[in-house]
Each structure stands twice: as C-alpha cells, then as structure tokens.
Chains A and B, each alone.
Chain A
C-alpha cells in the first residue's frame, strides 16, 4: 500500500446521505446518469447530484452546477428525468441549488480514479500555487505518471479543466481544476 487516503468530511457526509434507507434505490438508479462532457463520471461521482427526496408520488432531485455557465446542466436535468421516467417514476421535479457552491472536493474517490484512467488528471494530482490556483507546471501526467509537465492553458475544453502537456511522453492532457 502506497498511501492511506483520507476521505474529506464532505464526501463522508455525502456517503451517509446516499445510504439513507428510503430512497437508496434511486441513488443507485441515477448512477447511470453520466456527465455529458466526461462520460466516465456519473453525476454522483462529480458531486453534481446533491439530493433525492420523495414527496408523495413526486421525486425531487437536487443538482448543482460545477461552474456558473456549465452548459451541461440542461442536458443533465433531462437525462435525470429520463432515467427516472423509464424506471416508472413519472412525476419528477429537478431543483437547481446554488448554495453551497460546488467544490471539486465533492468528487468521489471512485470518480478521481475513473478520471485518471480516462486521461484527465484529478485536482489532487497537482500542487496548487501560492494563490490556491492551478500551477504552471508539474501536474502529474495521467498517461505516463511523469511530473515533468507544463500548463499550456489555464482554460481547457470545458470550464472545469485546464490544459497541460507532458514533457516526457509529449501527450497533452486535461487537468480538472480545484475550486
């Protein structure tokens, strides 16, 4: 074993919430809803899925955007509705909550692992600079694990990512920003 990973408090709370008995099967059901931009991650993995409640016949799902302008939110809403509809829940309401603001800390451990395998460096694979922002080098390359990398652009293919390139294997890769 190389390291003992500690689970942040937020993630622990989320797991507790997920394991609450009454809507447990709905949490499992919504694991099939993926982020349209990062299709290996479910909205649970990303921390976008905040709550599921049963209000009589109605299922109320609360989601939160990663970034203010995340264009995936409309897609995610309709995917959630569709998933629930096809499982027989016809009365679905989606709430968007802004507070507390989404944090990359909410991403599940499983999500981080999947992200890395998909070729995207998760937030903890770079040491942040003194301002707590994405550094200009040394994010770990998800392809060859080298730390000899450099930031190509602060802003990547989506709002949540920055673009890096590995100086050893030369592959470009996305880094999931810490916010």
Chain B
C-alpha cells in the first residue's frame, strides 16, 4: 500500500471514529429528551452522524481491502484503536453540556466540511457534500439552544457556562496536525485543520457572547485522541455500543 493510500485509510477511519462516537453520544438522549420534539431531533442528528460514520468506514474498508467491512471498523476495534477527538467521547452530561459540545462540534464541521469538499479524493469530497447540508440544520439547533440556555434563567446560564468551561480544554485538539494529516493536506486530499482555528473561534465566541456567556481563557488542554489515548469514558461507551455485535458475530437484521 502506498504511503498516501495508507494515510487516506487512517484519515477516513479518524473521521469515521469522530462521527460514530459523537453519533452514539447523541443517541444516548433518545427517550430522555426534555420534550418529544427535542427527543426526535436528537434521534435525527444522531442518525446523520452514524450515517456519516458508515460512509467513512465503508471507504476505509474499501481502501484496506483486507476483508473487513464497516461493521468491523465500528464494532471490532478497542478503545486504544479508536482515533476520535476526545471532545466527541465526553459523556452526555446534562442538557446544557450536550448542547455546548454540539455547538463546538457543529461549528467545527461548518468550517471543516467546505475544505473537505475541495479534496482531490472523490469519495471524501462526496461525503463532505452530503454532510454540509445536514450540518446547517445541526448548527442552527445547537446555536439556538446555547443562546436560549445562556441567556435564559440563572440556573440555565450557570450550567451552560460550566459546560463551556469544562469542554473548552478539549477543543484545542480539534486543530492539531500530525504527519499523516500533513501529508494528506500537502497532497490536497486532507484538510489542514490548523488553519481553521481562527474561523472556529470567531464563530463560537460570537455565539457565546450573544448568549451572555464568557469565552474561557486558553489555560489548559487535553490531547491524545488521534493517537489512541482516550479518557476513561470511551471504553465504557464502546462496551455498550459493541456488545450486541460482539455477542452475535455476523448477525444481520
């Protein structure tokens, strides 16, 4: 396998991991939403992410060409083999926490996907084209909720600010580059995420400010997702996500 093909396989897996982990976290709200419509919204957004993961994994499996399929990527790898960003694996927390994480992720995809659309790799570009349309709807929802909660009651403001402060340190990793991603960025296949931080920061801080929330200082950062070093949360999540598939290998329904 050429270096570029191997890097593309790794890249598609990373993007798939981000999507499936966040998609699963969002799905944990289904039947716990504050009201029916919100519950359905969570189900919808979750499906969009799981759908993205399927497309990325299917592509990764095609590149790997070793007999594995999308399910093997999702269900047969352990936490240390997962390469998702830590932000995506944080537990769902309270409603404010989930919406703030969603805002950070939605703005991230809002700046990332138009770049991925320009990829020379046709499949990555096609996945981006589909995802861009969905992300517009996702962002409108998370933005509206953060505005409403931040500029809401004393309690909702307090919880939303707390979520912002707790999650901020996990956002730096979103803009890290390593050799693999640099190689792909140089080839016009991957996105140079280090160039996206300013645009992300501008959008996020505008929304937080409008929501009467304080944009945190950059005082701490946690990293490691892209190299397989995760918080303890991912392992617990994966056991739940993978148990059915591992208990009944090859089962289809």
Contact = CB atoms under 8 A, between A and B. Distances in A.
A155 interface: yes
A18 B131 CA distance: 28
A43 interface: no
A7 interface: no
A155 B41 contact: yes
Tier of interface size on chain B: 20 to 34
B44, B122, B125, B126 — most chain A CB neighbours (10 Å) = B44
Nearest to B23: A69
A101, A155, A177 — most chain B CB neighbours (10 Å) = A155
B76 interface: no
A157 interface: yes
A83 interface: no
Contacts of B136: 131-133
A13 to B, nearest CB: 18
Interface string A103-140: 00000000000000000000000000001111000000
A69 B123 contact: no
B245 interface: no
A177 B46 CA distance: 18
B37 A67 contact: no
Contacts of B133: 101, 179
A92 interface: no
B127 to A, nearest CB: 6
A32 interface: no
A104 to B, nearest CB: 10
A152 B35 CA distance: 12
Interface string B132-154: 01101100110000000000000
Contact of A155 (B45, B50, B131): B45
Interface residues of A, number: 26
Interface string B99-136: 00000000000000000000000110111011101101
Contacts of A69: 23, 46-52, 54
A75 to B, nearest CB: 12
Contacts of B123: 98
B130 A102 contact: yes
B51 A153 contact: no
A31 interface: no
A68 B52 contact: yes
Contacts of A132: 136
Contacts of A40: none
Contact of A153 (B23, B41, B50, B129): B41
Interface of A: 65, 67-71, 98-102, 131-134, 152-159, 163, 177, 179
Interface of B: 23, 37-38, 40-41, 43-52, 54-55, 122-123, 125-127, 129-131, 133-134, 136-137, 140-141
**Shortest Cβ-Cβ A-B pairs, 9 listed:** A69-B51, A68-B51, A69-B47, A99-B126, A153-B37, A155-B41, A98-B126, A155-B44, A101-B129
25 contacts: A67-B51, A67-B130, A67-B134, A68-B49, A68-B52, A68-B54, A69-B49, A69-B50, A98-B55, A98-B127, A98-B130, A101-B130, A102-B130, A133-B137, A133-B140, A153-B40, A154-B140, A154-B141, A155-B40, A155-B41, A155-B45, A155-B141, A156-B40, A157-B40, A158-B44
